[in-house]
Amino acid sequence: MQSFQSIDATTCAQWIKQGKLTPVEAVKIAIDQVKKYNERFHAVVHLYEEDAIKQAKSLSNLEAPFAGVPILLKDAGHDYAGHPSTSSSQLFKNQIATKNSHYVDQIIKAGFIIIGHTNAPEFALKFVSDSALYGTVPNPVNPKYHAGGSSGGSVAAVQLGMVPIAAASDGGGSIRIPASFSGLVGFKPTRGAMPTGPGSYRSWGGAAIDFALTKSIQDTENFLLAMQLPHQDASAFKVPPLIADDIRNYEDNINDLNIAYTVDPFIDETPSADAVQAVEKTVNYLQNHGFSVTEVHPNINGLKDYLPGYYKMNASEQQKMFQQIKKQRGKAIQPDEVEPLSYLLAIYGEKIPAWEYSEVFDEWDNLANQMQQLHETYDVLIQPATAKAAPSLSEDFYHLEMLPPIETWKDLNKETLGDLIIESLKSGTYYSPYAYIYNLTGQPAISLPVHSTSEGLPIGVMISARQSQDAKILALSKWLENHRLFEYY
């Protein structure tokens, strides 16, 4: 018989409904797993043992799709009333959420029992999870490497069997990057598919979306069906809900999909041999089973055309948060209250005029139009999820030593600050030059665990589709999973 640590959330829910496992047993096993691994992996930063067991004991109605299944939230935007909401920042280390986010409300409505919050980099800004407040999350497959970010605590928790599924979010690849690095399924749905708010209904200008890290495609599908809302008046982005029958229809006619693939770099450095092999392995298998698969060249130069605008958005959002805090407490944030890159972004954001911020969204929309043209011919696009496997814990990405003294940053002009941010973050971009593109366009995209390097590290492939065509991605992903292309760790 399978163990709790190996099953996915759908199976866990079935066991509970069938009486093979009680909610209390599931929660206690999950908590024991957290205690077993957390000292080494720093995956969970807040554990709600007493509260979770109490909820499990009182649960009598098992009709909800995930009734009694333990889950972890991400400590970055997943506000859970009466519990910490720190964004992995020293600045907010004592902050307690006063209300639930609508995403968390829907998690509770789906029947999950929340047992804690997971680790993330400060303000979810990095592609690895290395917050100064809570420590670095090592890779659960090989702890000499990074788990990825910003949903690093979530990916480690699921891969280590703490919970069968973990809540996550993705504003620039923050679900798909750790999924690729750590060997799980990481899906970013179409913009607007998940609950948003309250407070902000277009997080990061619409780039960010909440979802989860999962072990299986059935979990990915069932979580999406359970979490989507028919309509939110306050949401700036509205899409029709996914219908399960649409997925079944594509599954029944899977060989009709017209598939494109690319290993183009999207940056000025080619992807690693492992990233290329992951794509070629997937493409060759599909072609050998009768699929139409064509190589394409989308002509995207992210480093030149889109990263500068993406960081302008990040910086403007960071400065907005700084201003809100200043208004609340009556004094500005000081450099020693946040990590250097967070402060640098905020200083840059202070210098960006409104017209430039607005111009960023024109860039995103034009990119979305370019991708739409590609999908007029092709149903899905396959490419590397990340350009490399996970980096070593000893690798230095951010080159903070190249930055001038922090007390001089406010005196620097906008152009100099922008260049410093690009240079500071560029090495991380070489690991993940692809994922953030789909945050800009709003398209659905998924990372699948199809390949391992010679060192045994996972590296994924990414499948994307046109907006609101999530069903095509899930159907093809299920086919690949059923044909045993996934590698498990």
Q: How does pLDDT run across 267-317, given as a tens digit for each residue?
A: 989 999 999 999 999 999 999 999 999 999 999 999 999 999 999 999 999
How far is the C-alpha of 260 from the C-alpha of 207, rounded, in Å? 24
Q: Would you state the pLDDT for residue 233?
A: 86
Q: Is 232 exposed, middle or buried (0-12, 13-18, 19+ CB in 10 A)?
A: middle
Beta-bridge partners for 459: 451
What 3-state class would DSSP assign to 156? Answer: helix
Cβ contacts of residue 14 below 8 Å, gap of 6+?
A: none
CA angle 88, 91, 96 (to 5 degrees): 70
Q: Would you state the pLDDT for residue 1?
A: 62
> What residue type is 403 in one-letter code?
L
Beta-bridge partners for 47: 116
Cβ contacts of residue 352 below 8 Å, gap of 6+?
A: 312, 315, 316, 319, 414
CA atoms within 13 A on the CB side of 368: 20
Residue with tokens 């060192």: 455
Q: Write out the H or E segment, with its range, that includes residue 53.
A: helix 49-58
Q: Would you state the pLDDT for residue 236?
A: 87
Q: ω before 180 within 30° of 0 (cis)?
A: no
With a cut of 50, which residues of the chain have pLDDT below it?
Answer: none
How far is the C-alpha of 88 from the C-alpha of 23, rounded, in Å? 29
Cβ contacts of residue 31 below 8 Å, gap of 6+?
A: 47, 49, 52, 53, 70, 115
Cβ count near 482 (within 10 Å): 11
Which 8-state DSSP code applies to residue 137?
-
How far is the C-alpha of 400 from the C-alpha of 404, rounded, in Å? 9
Q: Alpha helix (H) ranges present in 253-339? A: 273-288, 302-305, 307-329
